[in-house]
A and B are shown apart, each in its own frame.
Chain A
């Protein structure tokens, strides 16, 4: 059977030596990590949805959280994503100093977000919220809160550490544009997850 040029083209793509996704292997590996990590949060949020549906009552979020404060946290994270995107753009253009400054701003945003989260956690803990109990009558409420925001917070902390390494390397002129881009990709993922947590946990 004779093979068409399309068959040969597909075969040559998947035989190796070329990139079917037209991205570097490092970027592809990070995308695969993001997909699997995204599924971790999807599982947590789906579990939270199950608990919400199965519970006859659920605490009123407006009585427990200050939504203005949560909005401030969201503002900080969205702004840090914009500064990170600008850093990536600057690094691509070879403007390492500009990239360094915007990475620093992103780190400040991350630290600001973590400070807000630490304040929110300590406030709820001081009100009696624990992983297995809370004063609002539905134990799974605080369990869901601490697990979901805790996992997300650990990702933010990891992002701050990664960005600090990138900033240090940029300061020494040893960072590659792709290095900044990969760090940025992870940081935007952290922001993306917060969009879902903010809506599903705090608003709905």
Chain B
């Protein structure tokens, strides 16, 4: 294999690096503005894009068998998502309960 061909084999990593940097700068710009629900969704999409690029190209997951990809993706992302969405309603309930207690305490004075 020629030297030029060997070096071109690394090019994909630096292309991914460039995309990661561009996305990060974009997310930084959005992160310094007042966050709306739409902007938060864009930031989460940017986060998942960056995670996919790192997992797919740097960790070579894209070139592994589908069963390994599924185990990693379901194992981490789906479990994390289920974990968060199962406890998120409890967080909101705690918030509502503390706010209603504050209202009662404030009203009793």
Contacts and interface: CB of A to CB of B under 8 A. Distances in A.
Nearest to A52: B91
Contacts of A185: 59
A35 B75 contact: yes
Interface in A23-82: 23, 31, 34-35, 38-39, 42-43, 45-46, 49-56, 62, 67, 71, 74-75, 78-79, 81-82
A53 B72 CA distance: 28
Given A54-B91, A62-B32, A84-B58, A196 B47 contact: yes
A22 B71 CA distance: 14
B67 interface: yes
A86 B10 contact: yes
A204 B35 contact: yes
Contacts, number: 144
Which secondary structure characterizes the binding site on chain A?
helix
B24 A31 contact: no
B79 A89 contact: no
B91 A195 contact: no
Given A31-B68, A53-B88, A71 B58 contact: no
A202 to B, nearest CB: 7
Interface in B8-29: 9-10, 13-14, 16-17, 20-21, 24-25, 27-28
Given A39-B76, A89-B13, A196-B47, A50 B87 contact: yes
Interface string A81-119: 110111001100101000000000000000000000000
Contacts of B25: 71
A199 B44 contact: yes
A45 B80 contact: yes
Contacts of A38: 75-76, 80
A200 B40 CA distance: 10
A81 B54 contact: yes
Contacts of B57: 85
Interface in B69-109: 71-72, 75-76, 79-80, 83-84, 87-88, 90-92, 94-95, 98-99, 102
B38 interface: no
B43 A82 contact: no
Contact of B31 (A85, A90, A202): A202
A189 interface: yes
* 3 pairs of A and B residues whose beta carbons are closest in the complex: A53-B91, A42-B80, A203-B31
